[in-house]
Amino acid sequence: MITGRRLEVTSDRPTQFVDISTRLQDEVTATGLVSGRVYLQSLHTTLGLAVNENEPLLLEDLQGTLERLAPRDVAYHHDDFTRRANIADDEPVNGHAHCRQLLLQPAFTLLVENGRVILGRWQSIFAVELDGPRQRSIALQLDGEFAPSAAACKNDRDRELVELELARQLRVDPESVQLPMRRLVEAGGKRLRPLLVMLSARLGPRQEPLRAAALAAAIELIHDATLVHDDYVDRAGVRRGRPTVAAAEGASQAVAVGDFYFAKATRVIAELGNREVTSTVAAAMETICLSQMDDVRLRGLYPGDFDVYLRVVRGKTAALFAAACRAGAQLSDARPETAEALSQFGDLLGIAFQMADDLLDYSESSGKPRGQDIRERVLSLPLIYATENDRVGPRIRELLAGSVSEEDVGEIQALVSASGALQRVGRDARDLATSAVSQLDAIDVDGIRPVLADLARSAVDRVS
């Protein structure tokens, strides 16, 4: 079996040796590779790879060697833009960095035994930035014999526990509210928020999976209750490939079902008897409601700009991600700094998730009709970026100014796709997911970092 991954690396200096040994081991652990090989490949012409000793003075020596062999301040043909064709506006002066890259490896293979990357006593693995600061990607392939990792097994148990708890919670409810909500819950969904609760609830001394599952299910029900109301507000007919409550049972039922589960989730959380958790979730619910009102009000200024988008998304989507992380940590009596770091992770991940979700409006396989965000004038980052584009922006604004026909929706979608906005949003989402994971660097995440990193990656690499 071969599994592919990407390792995102951020540099903050022009030349920098970034030690990726721990992160690479995390990737191996997360995949459960027991015995085999990891192939690494730099995806950049000014990022090299190296195995050497992580000793600060030696790293200065290595940097000095690169500088002597390919000095920055001599003339390189590559930097003579008058002689080059198709130069981008932001083309860097970096002939020295390309030449230095020749002295390093663009790719190599490492061996894995007993689940550990084999390294000598003094060996560390470096991504060597030669033209930073930048955001970089390294492609990985892991090949060999895999076993389910301990973290992955625990993750599977968490998923199972959340599903059981959700089913148990729903089973006791009156049929009139239970059946429509079950249709929504059983249609799937990624369960990211409840999984964040379960993972965060492992980080304190008080680890009680059943209480964590109750909180996780309640958070999922809050999310689903907001979807039921949102679908009425947005006049959406389909959600997760099935009819919405508003479409199938009618608007009045959608209001009642949303209210019932909003209240029920509040009660379940109150019954846990943890004041911090109750306050965290209540504050998030209020933020979500304020942002939803903001969102509807701003549809008059459609398509909006990035600042408006960020404000609304942070409230509408990221607030519950952040609360799921914080409340899970609080339930386990984790340290305040752990809860805070997890909350920041959730906040950034929530924004990244929404960006990736925006891209699904342009996808055939998302389970909802293409172009729905445009029809309902929902804030959407691809559209915002496309309207900033000099070539297609004016035409998109012109189309959005009037009532938008189906033909217009198709044209807008084509213009957005042609503008490069989808790729830009995809990059932004991946960068934010990377930043989210880096929020965890300062805390002890007790072996779940790879799982959280995996969750972050799956939140932005989506097809549905």
Partner 1 sequence: MTGQTEVRQTELGGLESVWESGMEDVYAFYRESAPPRVALAAALVESAVDLQRLGGPAPDPPQLLVGDLCLARASRLLAETGEQALQVGFAQAVERVAAAASAGSRDPGLRDLLLAAIEGAR
**Site membership for partner 1, residue 251 (CB under 8 A):** yes
Stretch that binds partner 1, among 33-41, 98-106, 246-254, 333-341 (CB under 8 A): 246-254
Q: What is the closest distance, in whole angstroms, from the C-beta atom of residue 304 to partner 1 in the complex?
A: 18
Choose which of 73, 75, 267, 364 interacts with partner 1 (CB under 8 A).
267
**Site membership for partner 1, residue 248 (CB under 8 A):** no
Q: Residues 421 to 460: which contact partner 1 by CB under 8 A?
A: none
Q: What is the closest distance, in whole angstroms, from the C-beta atom of residue 267 to partner 1 in the complex?
A: 4
Q: What is the closest distance, in whole angstroms, from the C-beta atom of residue 329 to partner 1 in the complex?
A: 17
Stretch that binds partner 1, among 120-128, 194-202, 249-257, 346-354 (CB under 8 A): 249-257
Is the four-CA dihedral 451, 453, 454, 455 of positive or negative sign? positive
Phi and psi angles of residue 20, each rounded to the nearest 5 degrees, phi first: -110, 15
Sequence-distant (6+) residues with CB within 8 A of 279 are none
Choose which of 34, 119, 238, 289 interacts with partner 1 (CB under 8 A).
289
Phi and psi angles of residue 191, each rounded to the nearest 5 degrees, phi first: 60, 35
**Site membership for partner 1, residue 103 (CB under 8 A):** no
Q: What is the closest distance, in whole angstroms, from the C-beta atom of residue 463 to partner 1 in the complex?
A: 30
Stretch that binds partner 1, among 161-169, 269-277, 351-359, 413-421 (CB under 8 A): 269-277
Phi and psi angles of residue 276, each rounded to the nearest 5 degrees, phi first: -60, -45
Q: What is the closest distance, in whole angstroms, from the C-beta atom of residue 421 to partner 1 in the complex?
A: 28
Which of 431, 280, 430, 266 minimizes the C-alpha distance to 342?
280
Smaller CB separation from partner 1, 26 or 231: 231
**Site membership for partner 1, residue 299 (CB under 8 A):** no
Smaller CB separation from partner 1, 90 or 175: 175
Smaller CB separation from partner 1, 26 or 224: 224
**Site membership for partner 1, residue 311 (CB under 8 A):** no
Phi and psi angles of residue 198, each rounded to the nearest 5 degrees, phi first: -60, -45
**Site membership for partner 1, residue 316 (CB under 8 A):** no
String of contacts with partner 1 for each residue 154-193, x by CB under 8 A: -------------------xxxxx----------------
Q: Among all chains, which residue has been given the structure tokens 């060996």?
A: 123
Choose which of 271, 337, 398, 444 interacts with partner 1 (CB under 8 A).
271
Cβ atoms 213, 164 nearer than 8 A: yes
**Site membership for partner 1, residue 300 (CB under 8 A):** no
**Site membership for partner 1, residue 259 (CB under 8 A):** yes
Smaller CB separation from partner 1, 252 or 405: 252
Q: Among all chains, which residue has been given the structure tokens 């991504």?
A: 127
Q: Among all chains, which residue has been given the structure tokens 């949303």?
A: 258
Choose which of 257, 374, 432, 452 interacts with partner 1 (CB under 8 A).
257
**Interaxial angle between packed helices 449-460 and 336-359, expressed in degrees from 0 to 180 and rounded to the nearest 10:** 20
**Site membership for partner 1, residue 252 (CB under 8 A):** yes
Stretch that binds partner 1, among 6-14, 115-123, 252-260, 443-451 (CB under 8 A): 252-260
Choose which of 17, 126, 146, 232 interacts with partner 1 (CB under 8 A).
232
**Site membership for partner 1, residue 376 (CB under 8 A):** no
Cβ atoms 161, 220 nearer than 8 A: no
Stretch that binds partner 1, among 64-72, 141-149, 254-262, 385-393 (CB under 8 A): 254-262
Choose which of 273, 402, 406, 441 interacts with partner 1 (CB under 8 A).
273
**Site membership for partner 1, residue 290 (CB under 8 A):** yes
Smaller CB separation from partner 1, 205 or 273: 273
Choose which of 84, 190, 275, 427 interacts with partner 1 (CB under 8 A).
275
**Interaxial angle between packed helices 406-418 and 381-388, expressed in degrees from 0 to 180 and rounded to the nearest 10:** 70
Smaller CB separation from partner 1, 30 or 288: 288
**Site membership for partner 1, residue 253 (CB under 8 A):** yes
Which of 37, 41, 9 minimizes the C-alpha distance to 140?
41
Residues that bind partner 1 (CB under 8 A): 173-177, 226, 229, 232-233, 250-260, 262-264, 266-267, 270-271, 273, 275, 278-279, 281-283, 285-286, 288-290, 292-293, 296
